[in-house]
Structure 1
């Protein structure tokens, strides 16, 4: 993996409008943000405030009407040091688990002879060792999402974009994957930009939370999350701590205000 710049993601004055004339809709307006290398930044806010739009700008899937997006010192573009995980796994059902990851490795120029070892290593990272030969439809929803995460990590992205990746999962699986993603990002030094509607999830995962409001989409608040989270931290103890409860409550209040902001 190539060295990261100090500023992994920089959005400057991003405005996105759809349509023309009187029927034009402004999805986001004059949004600027910076994500430093190794940060886990969470975007929260009501539906329609532009969280996913900003992720698509960073991924290079969409162009801003005005403003600039820079990832690792270069203009945002598909595959430029970024990996993305969607709300649904979006796996290829006709491919095996290993085949899905192998497809991503092939697209990024990994020689065929090296792929089996890389696939095994990636599956081990997400707790699915030994499943390379299985069909995706044989896996549970949580396991499929782990495969999607492994596929996103296949190109060793410097920036990982996650768009409500656990929203469709049951509570127990969601909690387990939250811990796995947080620990994995920390161990790899990956920069993460994560979208969620949940104040609890934002505080649990993020080192910094950006709150958005809608009509038009814009950032209205920032909350720093200063919690001790290392390999020795008990997730249950963290969730049950007074500081966690305080931050979750503070963020929830800000989110409620943002949801009603004009």
Structure 2
């Protein structure tokens, strides 16, 4: 893992003893037959402190989604160890996941989708209506619990998917290119909302994207990955204001934002 400044919240800082939300040590993942396996991730080390917003960027095939799958408990390392808050990852336990496509149940209403998630996490039936209303308020969709999912725009559906992931009040949120299929204006709005929401709730977030601008805007750290096999080649701290009331439009136009965007773009260039 590349060296980072302890003040950045990166690997060096996390190793000093802060509470770790994610701790990967020499994690490798291989697919295919045992005689000719393909190494997707190679000896990846990653330490994420509670409350960090870490963005993964890199070319297609470098293992970004696989890394999220390991942390979510959907994939097991061939070697190395993976811990989420000190325990081995388990699907559906401790982490909310938001995919590139919303993957909502089309035969259920918005409230029905959220109610299903709440039921899975043991929320009593009597408490679900209040929790559904709270979740919809949180993602900017108040009063829309009775709408059918197919009546919603793509951006609204993705907000419902985010609300569903938040239903279990996860300490860790894993987001795999959730805004990639959205138009530019909706994407910008949801970026700002997720940035603000994570700051207000103190949620730890790992976010996959191919967008340099999105990575700099959202992340408190950005990890650059390279393929052949997948590995982390740079850990970039992003020292931009993260308060929920930050002027995001002004931030996007600032010289520091442009400097960080340029530095990240340079790091993504092939060696």
Count of aligned pairs: 254
Note if 1:76 corresponds to 2:89: yes
Aligned to 1:88: 101
Contact in 1 for aligned 2:199/2:244 (Cα 8 Å): no
Contact in 2 for aligned 1:71/1:80 (Cα 8 Å): no
Aligned to 1:239: 252
Contact in 2 for aligned 1:43/1:194 (Cα 8 Å): yes
Aligned to 2:25: 12
Farther off after superposition, 223-232 or 180-189: 223-232
Distance of aligned partners of 1:108 and 1:21 in 2 relative to their CA distance in 1, 3 Å threshold: closer
**Pairwise CA distance, 1:23:** 2.9
Of 232, 239, 256, the residue aligned with 1:226 is: 239
Of 115, 122, 125, the residue aligned with 1:109 is: 122
Alignment partner of 1:23: what SS?
A: coil
CA RMSD of superposed structures (Å):
1.0
Contact in 2 for aligned 1:85/1:149 (Cα 8 Å): yes
The gaps in structure 2 that reach 5 residues or longer are: 1-17
Aligned to 1:159: 172
**TM-score, normalised to structure 2's length?**
0.92
Alignment partner of 2:207: what SS?
A: strand
Of 151, 156, 160, the residue aligned with 1:143 is: 156
Measure the CA separation in 2 of the matches of 1:152 and 1:92.
14
**Residues 43-62 of structure 1: per-residue CA shift (max 9 Å, x gap):** 10000000000000000011
